Structure 1
Amino acid sequence: MSESSLREQICRMGASLYERGLTAGSSGNISVRTEDGWLLTPTNTSLGSLDPARISKLDWNGMLLAGDPPSKEAFLHRAMYQERGAANAIVHLHSTHSAAVSCMSGLDPHCCIPPLTPYFVMKIGQLPLLPYHRPGDPKLGDAIRGLAGKHSAVLLANHGPVVSGRSLESAVYAIEELEETAKLFLLLRGHNPRVLTEQEIAELRDTFNL
């Protein structure tokens, strides 16, 4: 896909996420890998009103090549790309239910949402929880770098999810599935839900080559 087409796709996907209430105000950011760098939504910009020509383009040293100044969380995206060669797009949102889970205490940091549905396992797998860092803290990039090699998605404590995919479409679908599973997780708190067994998870991995 050409760079101009990728810019248009970022705008369409951003508008869709915004219109469906998965991001609010100027929160959240989207990036896509290109042949000679990567694209990232600009800082202080609503995903609901993106301009293709103003989307930031960066090199792999984080230098701005074109467009408006990038999101202050550019380092977060770059760290995940550097560890996941198969990642061609990343979506980071402050979606309500996922962010609510990220604020809970007592979560398993290795897998903070249990395998409630096969779709969560297929699109997210295990979801590790990263300790709290202030927005823009470069140490968050180091923390993500330590997990991104094994996980396509992470949840930032008191913040929200970061999800990568082989395409922007697959990353958006995955973060939508994460948000729906977070909603289920909150609805089922205190109800002793049944989760998928290790055998059932292994069957999904074998069947769908996860």
Structure 2
Amino acid sequence: MIGTITHDITTPVKFIALTAKEILGNKEFNQQRTEKVLASIYKSSDQLYNFTATLKEYADIYSHHRTDKTETYSLHDLITEKIVLFSTIAESNHTSIINNADQKIHTRISKNILAAIIHNLLDNAVKYTRGGTITIDAFTEYRSVILIVEDTGSGMDQQKIDYYEELQNNIENEKLLLQKYGMGIHLVLQLLQMIESKIIFTRNKTGGTTCRLILKNKKND
């Protein structure tokens, strides 16, 4: 993972350095060329910022998890808190987010970890859903909490689903395609491993993606 991360950080940094060198070496730039160069620098630096911010989030959660003593909390309320963060951008995309989670579910699953997982899945769903619906459901099944995030967006392609499935089954040895697929779902898989849980991705026949999380519960409801 460190090797892959190092490679994916090096790429945008090197591009920014080479682009800056080109600007310094060429005194004359027309407006079109200047705008193109600045747009490239912005895109690379923004990619680098988001990449490192996600890594910091993972590092903070991992450090905290080692001494995590989460109290019992309402899963429905946690989901509501996360929906509020994405409500504005969802509305601008004419998308509604619905919380159908069972209000009776209270759990002691690491709140920081589950909050980060829900955040990343919602972020992904909102990003690819326009003029549609994102529905979050949660219920208990045996000794697990089943959390489902379903959207009516463009849908995750099968190649990506197969990659994440294979990665989840062999997360210690599989090469991470961070540059190709981003950090979001990779982070989700790493965090799920920390709480001994799993996720199943399904491409819906009518469009969109369903993410079914099987969460190992710390409390029998």
The question of a shared fold, defined as TM-score above 0.5 by the shorter chain, is answered with: no
Q: Report the TM range for the smaller structure's normalisation.
A: under 0.3
More helix by share: 2
